[in-house]
Amino acid sequence: MSEIKPSTAATSGVSRVRSKQSRVLARTFSSLGQSGFRHLWFGMLLLMAAVNIQMLARGFLTWELTKSPIAVVVVGAGFAPPILLLSLYGGAVADRYSRKRIIQIGQLGMLLITLFVAFSITSNTITVYHLVGASVGQGIVWAFLMPARQAIIGQLVDDDHLTNAVALNASGLSLMTVAAPGIGGLIYGFAGPGATYFVMAGLTVVAFILTAWVPSMTPVANANRRMWSDIKEGLVYTKHNRTVLMLLLVALSTALLAMPFRTLLPVQIEEVFKLDVEALGLMLSMIGVGALVGSLVIAGLSKNNHRGWVLLITSMLSGGAILLAAITTSYVVALVIMIVLGLGDSGRRALNASLIMEQTDDEHRGRVMGVYMMNFGLIPLGAVPLGFITAFLDVRIAFAIAGAGLLVAALGYTVLTDKIRRL
């Protein structure tokens, strides 16, 4: 019997498909081939694992201590005022001094805050005021660490890899949003909040060690100039760069509406679904699943893939998902909705930040990222009203208002301006 061989055309077609898949995969992870960015990325993974575990632990511990939705919102948004006040300085510092050193000092600050809460728990002296103080302290650290961490990416990779590197940075954050809350929920449920905070401290120590392998880069601005002159120059640059300004407004809408939604999830878990902390961890992980998938897709995009439209559509997805979360009373359905919300989040985490950096020259990148971080400082403007609505009405009404507001904002950006659509 003669051997049947596949046709040459079929073999050639399979080879072309495999070759195309290999090129897409290589493009998606191309930035990790540069060692400086690779060490930064792995260090970021562990730090963001600690941060995501902290979001779960701090929110649920606040709820256990107070049973107050307002307290949960205040603690969850306590980091925002320092970010609002200090991010412009953080951006100027990121342009004037070694970004690597700023990141490492920030990691040490995070470690001290985490240990403070851990020892407060184990000594049975923990109160909601400790958690508010820790949240405010984290905001102070974040105001300097985050602009430096974002801006250094542009020094570690070339321009052709910038969008890919920022998207991979976001996908790493999303990966930790998938894994960390679930793990944190299990640790919290079986070992308690004290052990959870000590695990976070250990992750931060390893992140500090990994960041030590990142090369030191020369500051891009003159440190002898007056600080306020640098800040003013960055604000003027941002004002006149209309595309960056519109991208910052997109970030603002998600900070005011999508981020406060998360701070109220512990309330929904207990009051609507009648479940415990492990269920909260799984829900946060589902957000991470969607964000991870979306971020990896964005990492593979080229400049010819209508990235502006992708950003607008993902913003609409976030708004629609929050609206659906307001309607459902099924935990299983809510998990699916969280995946959709995560897909929407990937635009904010990956694409928005990368487009802002791409549209900004390196000399001003730290200061522009400082302005970008200010958006997170405005979270209380959305969180506090939603907290009061939850306390006096219902958490589902608060979700409906947030989702509708975000959806209207995204539609407005789409219809009223072409600055983003053309990217």
Q: Does residue 8 fall inside a structural domain?
A: no
**Residue-level pLDDT at 126:** 93
Residue range 25-43, pLDDT digits in tens = 666 777 887 788 889 989 9
Q: What distance in Å separates the CA atoms of residue 287 and residue 178, rounded to the nearest whole number?
A: 7
Residues 6+ apart with CB under 8 A from 19: none
Query: What is the domain range of residue 385?
Result: 32-211+226-416
Q: Does residue 389 fall inside a structural domain?
A: yes
**Residue-level pLDDT at 262:** 77
Phi, psi dihedrals of residue 271, rounded to the nearest 5°: -85, -35
**Residue-level pLDDT at 311:** 84
Q: Does residue 4 fall inside a structural domain?
A: no
**Residue-level pLDDT at 222:** 66
Residues 6+ apart with CB under 8 A from 182: 281, 282, 284, 285
Q: What distance in Å separates the CA atoms of residue 356 and residue 377, rounded to the nearest whole number?
A: 18
Phi, psi dihedrals of residue 224, rounded to the nearest 5°: -85, -15
Q: Does residue 23 fall inside a structural domain?
A: no
Q: What distance in Å separates the CA atoms of residue 400 and residue 269, rounded to the nearest whole number?
A: 16
Q: Does residue 362 fall inside a structural domain?
A: yes
Closest CA to 219 of 99, 131, 121: 99
For the chain, what is the HEC assignment?
CCCCCCCHHHHHHHHHHHHHHHHHHHHHCHHHHCHHHHHHHHHHHHHHHHHHHHHHHHHHHHHHHHCCHHHHHHHHCCCHHHHHHHHHHHHHHHHHCCHHHHHHHHHHHHHHHHHHHHHHHHCCCCCHHHHHHHHHHHHHHHHHHHHHHHHHHHHHCCHHHHHHHHHHHHHHHHHHHHHHHHHHHHHHHHHCHHHHHHHHHHHHHHHHHHHCCCCCCCCCCCCCCCHHHHHHHHHHHHHHCHHHHHHHHHHHHHHHHHHHHHHCHHHHHHHCCCCCHHHHHHHHHHHHHHHHHHHHHHHCCCCCCCHHHHHHHHHHHHHHHHHHHHHCCCHHHHHHHHHHHHHHHHHHHHHHHHHHHHCCCHHHHHHHHHHHHHHHHCHHHHHHHHHHHHHHCCHHHHHHHHHHHHHHHHHHHHHHCCCCCCC
Q: Return averaged pLDDT per consecutive 10 residues of the chain, 423 residues in all.
A: 52 55 63 84 90 87 86 82 86 86 94 95 93 92 88 80 77 74 84 93 94 83 72 84 85 79 82 83 82 77 74 87 89 91 76 80 80 77 81 86 88 80 76
Residue holding tokens 């502006």? Answer: 308
Q: Does residue 329 fall inside a structural domain?
A: yes
Tally of domains within the chain: 1
Q: What distance in Å separates the CA atoms of residue 299 and residue 296, rounded to the nearest whole number?
A: 5
Q: Does residue 353 fall inside a structural domain?
A: yes
**Residue-level pLDDT at 415:** 81
Q: Does residue 298 fall inside a structural domain?
A: yes
Q: What distance in Å separates the CA atoms of residue 83 and residue 402, rounded to the nearest whole number?
A: 22
CATH code (residue 245) = 1.20.1250.20
Closest CA to 197 of 136, 110, 132, 279: 110
Burial of 311 (0-12, 13-18, 19+ CB in 10 A): buried
Q: What distance in Å separates the CA atoms of residue 357 and residue 351, rounded to the nearest whole number?
A: 10
Residue range 220-254, pLDDT digits in tens = 666 667 777 878 888 888 888 888 888 888 888 87
